């Protein structure tokens, strides 16, 4: 008897049909945080060589809609996907190499996360992206 994977349980819990492409995409997103679609496609094709680009896009859309993955799109960057969902965390992006890391939401007084006028919206999330240079890029001397 084959054991049910945690990804199969996640799909069933979200009332999504369990398919090989869905399991493979979910596995890739969990293994490669903040990966873009092409990186996810490459990881999926190592397991399912014949999967189409469109199939991966469709699965990512379904997983995002079901709340199993989160799509982020920092300015000037391709869409990225992550498995950390269900909390209000933020991101820091390197201006040099594009590396992305998670940043927990600040606790205590956070005036930038409270809208001065919510325009009647019921706000349930704030997205903050910090920009800077990662430690690896800071260590590399600039060339002229």
Read off the pLDDT of residues 74-120 as tens digits, 9 standing for 90 and up.
Answer: 888 899 999 999 887 889 999 999 999 999 887 766 667 778 888 88
pTM above 0.95, yes or no: no
Domain range for 91 is 87-138
Residue 64: count other Cβ atoms within 10 Å of its Cβ: 16
Q: How many domains does the chain have?
A: 2
| 119 within domain boundaries | yes
| 27 within domain boundaries | yes
Q: What is the pLDDT of residue 142?
A: 64
Any idea what the CATH number is for the domain that residue 59 is in?
Answer: 1.10.10.10
Any idea what the CATH number is for the domain that residue 129 is in?
Answer: 3.30.1490.190
Q: What is the pLDDT of residue 1?
A: 39
16 and 63 fall within a common domain: yes
- Cα separation, 62 vs 91, in Å, equals 23
pLDDT digits (tens, 9 = 90+) for 8-42: 999 999 999 999 999 999 999 999 999 999 999 99
Q: What is the pLDDT of residue 50?
A: 96
Is the pLDDT at 59 greater than 90? The verdict is yes
48 and 94 fall within a common domain: no
| 81 within domain boundaries | no
Domain limit, last residue, from 14, 43, 72: 72
| 19 within domain boundaries | yes
| 129 within domain boundaries | yes
Here the tokens at position 139 are 């260590």
pLDDT digits (tens, 9 = 90+) for 36-57: 999 999 999 999 999 999 999 9
């Amino acid at each position: 008897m084959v054991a049910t994977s945690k990804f199969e349980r996640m799909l069933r819990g979200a009332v999504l049909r369990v398919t090989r492409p869905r399991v493979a995409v979910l596995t890739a997103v969990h293994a490669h945080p903040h990966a873009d679609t092409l990186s996810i496609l490459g990881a999926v094709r190592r397991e399912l060589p014949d999967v189409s680009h469109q199939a991966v896009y469709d699965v990512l859309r379904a997983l995002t809609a079901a709340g199993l993955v989160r799509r982020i799109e920092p300015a000037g960057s391709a869409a990225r996907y992550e498995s950390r969902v269900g909390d209000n965390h933020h991101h820091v992006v390197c201006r040099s190499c594009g590396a992305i890391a998670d940043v927990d939401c600040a606790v205590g007084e956070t005036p930038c996360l409270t809208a001065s006028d919510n325009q009647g919206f019921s706000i349930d999330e704030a997205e903050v992206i910090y920009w800077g240079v990662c430690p690896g890029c800071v260590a590399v001397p600039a060339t002229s």
